[in-house]
């Protein structure tokens, strides 16, 4: 038997078989992923979260504030030396106005850097400054700029609904 005759014999065997009825296709079930591949959470995309977090830690708007004192060799991730470094102008009214203006700038920087701790850090350094004044002069006189800052913050909080 030659190769051609063998292939004809195979084909004829197939043609002699009765055709089986076609089955209707089963509805497809959703395939489950294996249990070991399930994620507990979905991580944020790196371009959104990582970039924003790095920017938040560099605090560009906060470090640009006129009353924030940064170190001599300021590095992006290094915290400022002081969040309240204000020299008096010598005139009480001007200092109060200056403190109010600084509060407005601080609120804008807090929003820009998305740093909700900024006002608390400024108030901490205002307290440190007041303690340092008392220890130097022996008198408990408050800074007009600090009073203006705190008055403006209080008014903004009171106006917020």
Domain boundaries in the chain?
Answer: 45-159
3-state secondary structure 20-65: CCCCCCCCCCCCCCCHHHCCCCCCCCHHHHHHHHHHHHHCHHHHCC
pLDDT at 161 (0 to 100): 73
pLDDT at 102 (0 to 100): 97
| Residue whose token pair is 């030396």 | 81
CA atoms within 13 A on the CB side of 28: 3
For CA atoms 136, 94, 126, 154, the dihedral sign is: positive
pLDDT at 41 (0 to 100): 65
pLDDT at 155 (0 to 100): 96
The residues, ordered by sequence, that sit 6+ positions from 98 with a Cβ below 8 Å of its Cβ are 86, 89, 145, 148
If the chain, 161 residues long, is cut into consecutive pieces of 10 residues, what is the mean pLDDT of each piece? 56 57 62 58 61 67 91 79 92 96 95 89 93 82 92 94 73
- pTM metric for this prediction: 0.64
pLDDT at 139 (0 to 100): 76
């Amino acid at each position: 038997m030659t190769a051609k005759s063998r292939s004809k014999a195979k084909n004829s065997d197939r043609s002699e078989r009765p055709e089986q009825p076609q089955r209707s296709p089963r509805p497809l079930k959703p395939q489950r992923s294996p249990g070991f591949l399930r994620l507990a959470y979905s991580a944020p995309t790196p371009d959104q979260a990582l970039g924003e977090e790095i920017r938040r830690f560099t605090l560009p708007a906060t470090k640009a504030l006129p009353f924030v004192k940064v170190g001599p060799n300021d590095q992006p991730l290094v915290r400022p030396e002081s969040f309240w470094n204000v020299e008096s102008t010598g005139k009480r009214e001007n200092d109060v106005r200056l403190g109010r203006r600084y509060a407005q700038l601080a609120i804008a920087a807090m929003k820009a850097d998305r740093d909700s701790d900024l006002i608390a850090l400024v108030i901490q350094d205002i307290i440190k400054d007041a303690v340092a004044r008392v220890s130097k002069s022996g008198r408990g006189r408050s800074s007009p700029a600090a009073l203006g800052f705190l008055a403006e913050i209080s008014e903004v909080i009171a106006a917020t609904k």
